[in-house]
């Protein structure tokens, strides 16, 4: 802001100040003319139509700046009169800009610091402009339209206090880091882990946050607030560039001979087409075949075999008639195959005798005529053995609502009726829970009559 | 000549550190000559707006996820091998568990700062995914995905998808009861795929669930494969935006041809560095003070158990919701089974969601607007009511699924039936998105028409004035220039077939002859997209 047109002694005569009416036509110069960029800021400022941008300081400040402006320096705001806008070169200003900056820095300490500081900005910027003239090949086409010193930066004292603030944050961070290290060194994990974790997190957090806050304060209070304007570069090629590339490409094609010798590309195509087979074959041993060589999918059977005893999942003790009270349930696995729980886990449940819907169990048995089971193979002395693997997504169905005699899968809330052959009454599951046929032997132990009559768990393509 | 002066001055003034810096700069520069690149980069202007910071948060949190992740790999053992626990967490003593779970316990209880790093890693990952998602919303609603930024939009959608997979892989690794259940659902999802499902599941898991040595594979994916791809995509994303330069909102001094902002050096570097540390600091505080994923409460994974009321990380919530509200549809045809109750909510629906997200810029540009011009200035959400409506439609669809993922908790908290909540969400998923579309579009149109008034008549002052001939009017103050610049930038909505925008050679050739069903639909879509009529305003006139 300081370097725009409202401040300089001849700004008012050059381009209309205050209102932001441009003398020069609005619009950015084309790329590559960066060398003249600094002269036509009047027009640029016009683009920044916000009220804060077109005006700078009080009249006193402006006149103060004018009185202190080095004479004969056609740079900065003073140079931006329309008469000089088009001047191609300002050779000879390099050294004076440098000197002026040093001079201004010295004068900054005085009461006129505020204005001098804007002068410094102007001097520095004009030096930048001078430098850019030596580097016209670089397509930056960039100008700083608004370059306002931060409030704290306006006076030496302000800057010092801002710097103290920043330093305070940085030192706080250092202290927190030291605290973190001390805590780490002095504590043992055996004692009060929660407290230790909280303190470590707190100190590390403060160490990191304080650096961040310090940096932000630094930016806000010391760095000048700027609005740099940069030209965007075109993101598409010119027709000439495109043609040149196309030509190069065509020449390359010609040189490789692929147009004359078809066999080159043909054979390359074959080799590249076949090559993916190698990694494909390499993938084969990632896992066994789902049929396991046995001709039937591994998902269709479990570890249960005829005569296997029911053992409790946690205690691994065989389960006897009378172990389960009415309305409660045990998780069962086949004896000797405790690790096969992923598909063989069973919920053995004892229903209220009056609630059992016998017909539904008969119906279930009738679905598998080949096995020759009857309803009483699935509900025996009020006990039923349901597969614990949900027929939806395979989660363990583990919530049993005793009053309703329903199972609820906690994953997606499929609900099955325990007294009615595991029928689905709600949720995304599409099939009833499979049941394990079983009997009670002469000693009172539960034993399987065979595997589940159908695949347990979620559906798959080959399930049928 | 000028440069010599500068160098001399630099040498005179520089401190020891400054000299070392200058020397190393010269060393590199004398060998690769990056002067033009460096200078170009230093002077690059970055527009400033709070919403542009969301993407930065994603970047910075990704850095801290990488750093904390490296720490965790030093101690974590991704093994399914069973061990008996005898570490310092007494309640689990003597329990059989996988080495993965045991080593996670050891990170949490036996390694100083280990729990902090674990929780920090988890929180930073959540922040990363959340920031990526919100950043993508910002890009969508401001139209920042338009030409020339479609490639970066595609990369962004890829990043969002990968980040979700990466997060899922990460929280599945400790092999606790919660994550094991998530893997079980993943296994079932693979199994449900027609024809190849059984093979895929067996190959990926190395056998029947829980599979042989699956955690090793998941680990390789989590710490090498996915982060590698994400890192590559992040790099590409940044290089492209660096090259294309950032978009900006309309305002005073802003134009399609320029970038207005802070230069990269020194302001942006310092500020960006500061924000990096702020994000780091917030992650560290969360990691220390906010407990997350306390796996020792869940216990080791066993296939026969599950914890009730369990919730996945938030980014998996929409999948959980879609699985929960799906009716139990399953087909048995020609001796094969097609489980739609898994396929639709678990694979087809998310597939469609992300695909439509990825394709949206192309649908809008190629099919609806035919707007082939470059867009460097952003739309405010209200500037394009139909797009904003579409965005809210998609967003509300996602949010309904997300909330449905917690239907059991909602039911419990509000004391309503679980089934009632499920039914509410089943209706909501169909009803809410169109309502959201309508409301969002109406709100945008309302805001626009108010701005139109403001633009043409100025701001109402509340001062009533009586004119000499008796008429009573309200005095309107002129709009301040900064505001006027925004108002003027509001696009004049015109259907694509009326107003062709862009340079003549960038335009698509005008459709020749042949009016087909497709072109008709396209024109209707285009008119719908640009439709700006507000029935109430019609009445006013």
Dihedral angle computed from the Cα positions of residues A191, A196, A197 and A198, in that order, rounded to the nearest 10 degrees: 140
B201, B263, B274 ranked by CB distance to A216: nearest:
B274
| H or E stretch at A350 | strand A346-350
B502 in contact with A at a CB cutoff of 8 Å? Answer: no
- With bands split at pLDDT 50, 70 and 90, how would you rate the model's confidence at B370? confident
Query: What ipTM was predicted for this assembly?
Result: 0.86
Tokens encoding A13: 């005569």
The pLDDT value recorded for residue B478 is 82
∠ CA B244-B246-B247, rounded to 5°: 110
**Integer Cα distance of B436 and A77 in angstroms:** 53
Look at strands A383-387 and A399-401 and give their pairing.
unpaired
The pLDDT value recorded for residue A277 is 96
Chain A's closest residue to B185, CA to CA, is A393
A51, A205, A395 ranked by CB distance to B288: nearest:
A205
Taking an 8 Å cut-off on Cβ atoms, the answer to whether A232 and B341 are in contact is no
Assess contact for A104 and A120: CB atoms under 8 A: yes
Question: Which segments within A106-185 are labelled E, that is strand?
Answer: 142-148
A94, A206, A396 ranked by CB distance to B306: nearest:
A396
Taking an 8 Å cut-off on Cβ atoms, the answer to whether B342 and A460 are in contact is no
What does B186-206 look like in DSSP terms, one character per residue? HHHHHHHSTTTHHHHHHHHHT
Taking an 8 Å cut-off on Cβ atoms, the answer to whether A228 and B273 are in contact is no
Tokens encoding B212: 């042989």
Interface mutation target, options B4, B6, B45, B123, chain A, most CBs of A under 10 Å: B45
Q: Which residues of B touch A126 (CB under 8 A)?
A: none
**Integer Cα distance of B303 and B298 in angstroms:** 13
B42 in contact with A at a CB cutoff of 8 Å? Answer: no
Taking an 8 Å cut-off on Cβ atoms, the answer to whether A229 and B181 are in contact is no
Dihedral angle computed from the Cα positions of residues B518, B523, B529 and B530, in that order, rounded to the nearest 10 degrees: 170
Chain B's closest residue to A218, CA to CA, is B270
Is the pLDDT higher at B370 or at B68?
B68
The pLDDT value recorded for residue B174 is 93
Chain A's closest residue to B308, CA to CA, is A410
Taking an 8 Å cut-off on Cβ atoms, the answer to whether A232 and B112 are in contact is no
Chain A's closest residue to B188, CA to CA, is A393
The pLDDT value recorded for residue B520 is 74
The pLDDT value recorded for residue A143 is 63
Taking an 8 Å cut-off on Cβ atoms, the answer to whether A193 and B326 are in contact is no
Q: pLDDT averaged over chain B?
A: 86
**Integer Cα distance of B181 and A109 in angstroms:** 70
Interface mutation target, options A97, A292, A295, A463, chain B, most CBs of B under 10 Å: A463
Assess contact for A400 and A417: CB atoms under 8 A: no
Which CA distances in Å does B380 have to A210, A277, B385, B491?
A: 34, 51, 10, 10
B407 in contact with A at a CB cutoff of 8 Å? Answer: yes
3-state helix, strand, coil in chain B (%, to 5): 65, 5, 25
Mean pLDDT of B357-381: 89
Q: Which residues of B touch A218 (CB under 8 A)?
A: 270, 274
Taking an 8 Å cut-off on Cβ atoms, the answer to whether B336 and A462 are in contact is yes
Tokens encoding A178: 């030291």
B194 in contact with A at a CB cutoff of 8 Å? Answer: yes
Residue B33: CB atoms within 10 Å:
10
The pLDDT value recorded for residue B498 is 36
Taking an 8 Å cut-off on Cβ atoms, the answer to whether B115 and A298 are in contact is no
pLDDT digits (tens, 9 = 90+) for A409-454: 988 989 999 999 999 999 999 999 999 999 999 999 999 999 999 9
| B130 Cβ neighbours under 8 A, 6+ residues apart | B314, B315
B270 in contact with A at a CB cutoff of 8 Å? Answer: yes
Assess contact for B181 and B300: CB atoms under 8 A: no
Q: Which of B243, B61, B228, B234 is nearest to B156 (CA)?
A: B234
Tokens encoding A232: 């965007």
Q: B405 — alpha (psi -120 to 50), left (phi > 0) or beta?
A: alpha
B33 in contact with A at a CB cutoff of 8 Å? Answer: no
Whose structure tokens read 């560290």?
A: B284
| A412 Cβ neighbours under 8 A, 6+ residues apart | A390, A392, A393, A395, A427, A428, A429, B320, B323, B324, B326
pLDDT digits (tens, 9 = 90+) for B300-352: 988 888 776 678 889 999 999 999 999 989 988 888 899 999 999 999 999 99
Q: Which residues of B touch A285 (CB under 8 A)?
A: none
Taking an 8 Å cut-off on Cβ atoms, the answer to whether B197 and A133 are in contact is no
Question: C-alpha B110: how far from its chain's center?
Answer: 36
Using 50 as the pLDDT threshold, list the residues of chain A that sit under it: 1-95, 107-117, 129-141
Q: B460-496 burial by CB neighbour count: b if 16+ within 10 A, else e?
A: eeeeeeeeeeeeeeeeeeebebbbbbbeebbeebebb
The pLDDT value recorded for residue A46 is 41
Q: B81-97 burial by CB neighbour count: b if 16+ within 10 A, else e?
A: eebebeeebeebeebeb
B34 in contact with A at a CB cutoff of 8 Å? Answer: no
How far is it between the farthest Cα atoms of chain A?
A: 119
Interface mutation target, options A216, A228, A282, A348, chain B, most CBs of B under 10 Å: A228
B512 in contact with A at a CB cutoff of 8 Å? Answer: no
CB pairs under 8 A between A and B: 343
Q: Which residues of A touch B263 (CB under 8 A)?
A: 142, 144, 226, 228
The pLDDT value recorded for residue B44 is 85
Question: C-alpha B458: how far from its chain's center?
Answer: 38
Dihedral angle computed from the Cα positions of residues A411, A417, A422 and A428, in that order, rounded to the nearest 10 degrees: -40
Chain B's closest residue to A410, CA to CA, is B308
Question: C-alpha A124: how far from its chain's center?
Answer: 41
Q: Is B232 exposed, middle or buried (0-12, 13-18, 19+ CB in 10 A)?
A: exposed
**Integer Cα distance of A405 and A426 in angstroms:** 14
pLDDT digits (tens, 9 = 90+) for B450-506: 888 888 788 888 888 888 888 888 888 888 877 777 777 655 444 333 334 444 444
**Integer Cα distance of A165 and A221 in angstroms:** 10
């Amino acid at each position: 802001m300081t370097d725009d047109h409202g401040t300089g002694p001849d700004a008012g005569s050059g381009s209309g100040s205050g209102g932001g009416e441009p003398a020069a036509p609005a619009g950015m110069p084309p790329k590559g003319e960066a060398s003249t960029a600094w002269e036509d800021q009047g027009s640029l400022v016009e683009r920044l139509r916000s009220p804060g941008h077109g005006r700078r300081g009080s009249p006193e400040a402006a006149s103060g700046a004018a009185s202190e402006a080095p004479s004969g320096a056609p740079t900065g705001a003073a140079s931006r009169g329309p008469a000089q806008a088009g001047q191609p070169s300002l050779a000879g200003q390099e050294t004076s800009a440098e000197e002026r900056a040093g001079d201004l820095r010295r004068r900054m300490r005085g009461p006129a610091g505020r204005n001098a500081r804007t002068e410094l900005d102007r001097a520095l910027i004009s030096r930048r402009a001078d430098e850019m003239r030596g580097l016209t090949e670089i397509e930056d086409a960039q100008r700083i339209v608004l370059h306002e010193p931060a409030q704290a930066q306006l006076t030496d004292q302000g800057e010092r206090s801002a710097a103290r603030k920043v330093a305070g944050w940085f030192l706080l961070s250092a202290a927190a880091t030291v605290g973190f290290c001390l805590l780490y060194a002095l504590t043992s994990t055996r004692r009060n882990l929660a407290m230790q974790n909280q303190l470590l997190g707190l100190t590390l957090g403060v160490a990191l946050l304080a650096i961040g806050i310090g940096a932000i304060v630094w930016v806000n209070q010391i760095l000048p607030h700027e609005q740099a304007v940069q030209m965007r570069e075109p993101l598409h090629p010119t027709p000439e560039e495109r043609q040149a590339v196309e030509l190069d490409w065509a020449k390359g094609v010609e040189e490789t001979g692929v147009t004359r010798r078809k066999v080159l590309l043909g054979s390359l195509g074959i080799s590249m087409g076949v090559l993916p087979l190698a990694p494909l074959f390499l993938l084969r041993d990632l896992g066994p075949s789902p049929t396991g060589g046995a001709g039937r999918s591994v998902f269709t059977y479990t570890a249960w075999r005829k005569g296997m005893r029911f053992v409790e999942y946690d205690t691994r003790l065989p389960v006897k008639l009378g172990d389960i009270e009415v309305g409660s349930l045990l998780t069962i696995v086949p004896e000797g195959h405790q690790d096969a729980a992923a598909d063989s886990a069973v919920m053995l449940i004892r229903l209220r005798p009056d609630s059992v819907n016998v017909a539904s169990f008969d119906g279930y048995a009738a679905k598998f005529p080949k096995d020759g089971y009857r309803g009483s193979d699935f509900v025996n002395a009020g006990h039923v053995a349901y597969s614990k693997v949900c027929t939806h997504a395979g989660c363990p169905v583990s919530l049993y609502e005793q009053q309703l005699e329903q199972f609820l899968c906690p994953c997606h809330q499929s609900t099955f009726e325990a007294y009615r052959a595991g029928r689905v009454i709600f949720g995304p599951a599409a099939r009833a829970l499979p049941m394990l046929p079983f009997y009670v032997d002469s000693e009172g132990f539960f034993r399987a009559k065979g595997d589940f009559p159908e695949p347990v768990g979620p559906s798959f393509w080959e399930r049928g | 000549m000028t440069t010599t002066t500068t160098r001399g001055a630099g040498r005179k003034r520089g401190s020891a550190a400054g000299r070392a810096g200058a020397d190393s700069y010269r060393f590199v520069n004398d060998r690769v000559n990056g002067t033009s690149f460096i200078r170009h980069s230093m002077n690059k202007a970055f527009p400033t707006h709070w919403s542009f910071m969301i993407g930065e948060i994603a970047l910075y949190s990704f850095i801290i996820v990488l750093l904390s992740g490296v720490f965790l790999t030093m101690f974590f053992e991704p093994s399914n091998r069973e061990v008996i626990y005898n570490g310092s967490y007494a309640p689990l003593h003597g329990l059989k568990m996988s080495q993965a779970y045991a080593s996670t316990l050891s990170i949490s209880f036996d390694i100083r700062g280990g729990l902090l790093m674990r929780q920090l890693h988890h929180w930073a990952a959540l922040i990363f995914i959340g920031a990526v998602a919100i950043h993508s919303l910002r890009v969508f609603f401001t139209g920042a995905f338009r030409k020339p930024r479609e490639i970066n939009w595609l990369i962004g959608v890829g990043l969002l998808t990968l980040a979700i997979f990466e997060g899922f892989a990460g929280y599945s690794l400790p092999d606790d009861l919660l994550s094991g259940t998530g893997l079980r659902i993943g296994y079932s999802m693979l199994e449900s795929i027609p024809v190849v499902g059984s093979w895929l599941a067996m190959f990926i898991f190395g056998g029947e669930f829980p599979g042989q040595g699956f955690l090793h594979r998941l680990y390789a994916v989590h710490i090498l494969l996915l982060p590698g791809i994400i890192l590559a995509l992040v790099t590409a994303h940044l290089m492209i935006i660096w090259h294309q330069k950032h978009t900006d909102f309309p305002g005073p001094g802003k134009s399609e041809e320029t970038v207005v902002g802070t230069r990269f050096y020194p302001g942006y570097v310092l500020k960006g560095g500061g924000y990096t540390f702020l994000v780091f600091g917030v992650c560290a505080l969360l990691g220390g003070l906010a407990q997350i994923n306390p796996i020792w409460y869940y216990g080791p994974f066993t296939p026969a158990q599950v914890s009730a009321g369990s919730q996945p990380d938030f980014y998996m919530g929409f999948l959980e919701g879609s699985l929960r509200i799906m009716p139990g549809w399953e087909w048995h045809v020609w001796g094969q089974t097609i489980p739609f109750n898994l396929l639709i909510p678990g694979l087809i629906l998310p597939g469609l969601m992300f695909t439509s997200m990825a394709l949206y810029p192309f649908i809008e540009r190629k099919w609806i607007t035919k707007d082939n011009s470059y867009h460097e200035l952003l739309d405010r959400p209200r500037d394009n009511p139909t797009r904003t409506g579409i965005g809210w439609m998609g967003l509300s669809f996602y949010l309904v699924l997300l909330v449905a993922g917690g239907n059991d908790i909602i039911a419990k908290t509000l004391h309503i039936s679980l089934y009632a909540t499920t039914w509410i969400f089943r209706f909501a998923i169909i009803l809410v998105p169109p309502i959201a579309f309508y409301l969002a579009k109406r709100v945008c149109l309302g805001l626009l028409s108010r701005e139109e008034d403001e633009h043409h008549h100025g701001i109402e002052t509340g001062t009533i004035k009586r004119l000499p001939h008796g008429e009573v009017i309200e005095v309107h103050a002129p709009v301040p220039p900064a505001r006027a610049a925004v108002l003027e930038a509001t696009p004049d909505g015109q259907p694509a077939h009326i107003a062709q925008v862009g340079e003549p050679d960038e335009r698509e050739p005008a459709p020749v002859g042949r009016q087909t069903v497709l072109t008709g639909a396209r024109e209707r879509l285009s008119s719908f997209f640009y439709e700006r009529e507000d029935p109430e305003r019609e009445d006013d006139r």
